[in-house]
Amino acid sequence: MFCNTIRTFLYRGVQTPFRRNLHKPAIRIVEVGPRDGLQNEAIHVPTDVKVEFINKLSETGLQTIEVTSFVSPKWVPQMGDNTEVYTKINKKPSVAYPVLVPNVKGLESAVSVGAKEIAVFGSASEGFARKNTNCSAEEALDRIKEIVNKSQILDDTLKIRGYISCVVGCPYDGHIKPEAVTKVCEFLLSLGCYEVSLGDTIGVGTKSTVEPMLKDLLKITTADKLAIHCHDTYGQALVNICTALEHGIKVVDSSVSGLGGCPYAVGATGNVATEDLVYMLHGLGAETGVDLKKLIDAGHYISEKINKPTASSVNKALYKKYF
Ligand SMILES: CC(C)(COP(=O)([O-])OP(=O)([O-])OC[C@H]1O[C@@H](n2cnc3c(N)ncnc32)[C@H](O)[C@@H]1OP(=O)([O-])[O-])[C@@H](O)C(=O)NCCC(=O)NCCSC(=O)C[C@@](C)(O)CC(=O)[O-]
């Protein structure tokens, strides 16, 4: 029953020939491993490893790879080689390579290296905004407005994606009310963000908290403006993603090998592993355009380089079979 509801949503709006012969991806995956994944690594990952990692991801069929962030290197030293990473990677025309920016300074750096897409981030919780961006949640939104205004002067073709952190729970403020998320989302969309990604930053969500949050959002916008971004701290990510699919969301963020976490969210582990997500989506009959074998290879590569076992169950199960 659960799967049938998801399938109904996956196929909603899809033409009949497309259903029979899935030529185009039905679900777009936004791979955030090189940014959200690696930003939390305490040991410096060499730039050449990051570049090789991203180049491998580019060959998997992923359409979007968030490659780095132009944040303060004092706050996140791991992303301090952003310019080198962005300029050295092979960029395929079929792949978008967004970068995360926290302020106008970050925007200027991103534009100067030729970024075509940026991601801005706000928070539904006050406590997380203060820890992550050293300002109130309201001030963080003002900064986003400044970024958007300045982007229109620097490059009015720049695509802007929005993130909202702590959409169901915050490590500092606890439970987050759906209305707080809806308010930030409305603001980001009014600024022209083409999509807003809903971050369960510390992975505390369950179907019973994710669903009311989505229902409140869907009063002010449509599912095609939303993406879901689940960390897997409590092992709930795939269930929460299924809940989002049931509500018509067709864009999912994930991190190969389940890398990552946020350095300013105590106790948060990595995102849902992209390998596990792709396996689940293909099992549901959805198309992602992603070659699971190549993805497993990319996940294995980065896990070895950072000397950490993969957090992806699918990678663990299939690596030896494939290689
Ligand atoms: C927002 C600030 C900058 C405020 O930080 P601040 O210390 O209040 O800012 P500041 O303006 O006083 O700057 C401090 C220093 O950083 C420099 N600086 C300032 N900005 C930049 C920049 N863009 N690029 C390079 N350098 C910069 C600035 O020039 C100065 O250098 P100094 O004068 O001392 O030598 C800081 O708090 C920051 O960078 N925060 C980002 C933290 C971060 O990256 N967190 C992880 C990403 S968000 C996330 O992971 C959640 C998400 C998106 O994945 C979704 C989810 O799961 O929830």
CATH number at residue 245: 3.20.20.70
- Which of 160, 215, 220 shows the shortest CA–CA distance to 185? 220
The alpha carbon of 102 and the centre of ligand 1 are apart by a number of angstroms equal to 6
pLDDT at 7: 64
**Atom 21 in ligand 1: which residue has the minimum CA distance?**
72
List the residue whose alpha carbon is closest to atom 34 of ligand 1. 74
The number of domains in the chain is 1
Pairing of strands 251-254, 117-123: unpaired
Q: What is the CA radius of gyration of the chain?
A: 18
% of the chain surpassing 70 pLDDT: 92
Give residue 262's pLDDT band: very low, low, confident or very high (50, 70, 90).
Answer: confident
CA of 69 to the centre of ligand 1 (A): 10
Protein residue whose Cα sits closest to atom 17 of ligand 1: 72
Look at residue 76 and tell me whether its pLDDT is greater than 50: yes
> Atom 50 (ligand 1): residue with closest C-alpha?
262
Alpha helices by DSSP H, 80-220: 82-88, 104-112, 126-133, 137-154, 178-191, 207-217
Q: Give the CA-trace dihedral at 308, 309, 314, 319, to 10 degrees.
A: 100
Give residues (CB < 6 A) around ligand 1. 36, 39, 69-76, 100, 102-103, 105-106, 109, 121, 132-134, 163, 165, 199, 201, 229, 262, 264
Read off the pLDDT band of 265 (50, 70, 90): confident
Among 13-17, 170-174, 179-183, 294-298, the minimum mean pLDDT is found in 13-17
* Contact by Cβ (8 Å): 165, 199: yes
- Its pTM surpasses 0.90: yes
**What residue type is 14 in one-letter code?**
V
Look at residue 17 in the predicted model and tell me its pLDDT. 39
Q: What is the pLDDT of residues 12-63, one digit of tens each?
A: 654 443 444 444 459 999 999 999 999 989 899 999 999 999 999 999 999 9
What confidence score (pLDDT) does residue 263 get? 80
Q: Alpha-carbon distance 80 to 68, whole Å?
A: 9
Atom of ligand 1 nearest to the CA of 121: 53
Active site residue 170: no
Give the mean model confidence (pLDDT) for residues 137-146: 98
Give the integer Cα–Cα distance in Å for 223 and 81: 35
Q: What are phi and psi of 158, to 5 degrees?
A: -60, 130
> Is this complex's ipTM strictly greater than 0.95?
yes
Question: Residues 170, 185, 242, 262: which is the catalytic one?
Answer: 262
| Structural domain harbouring 275 | 2-322
289: which 2 tokens?
């355009």
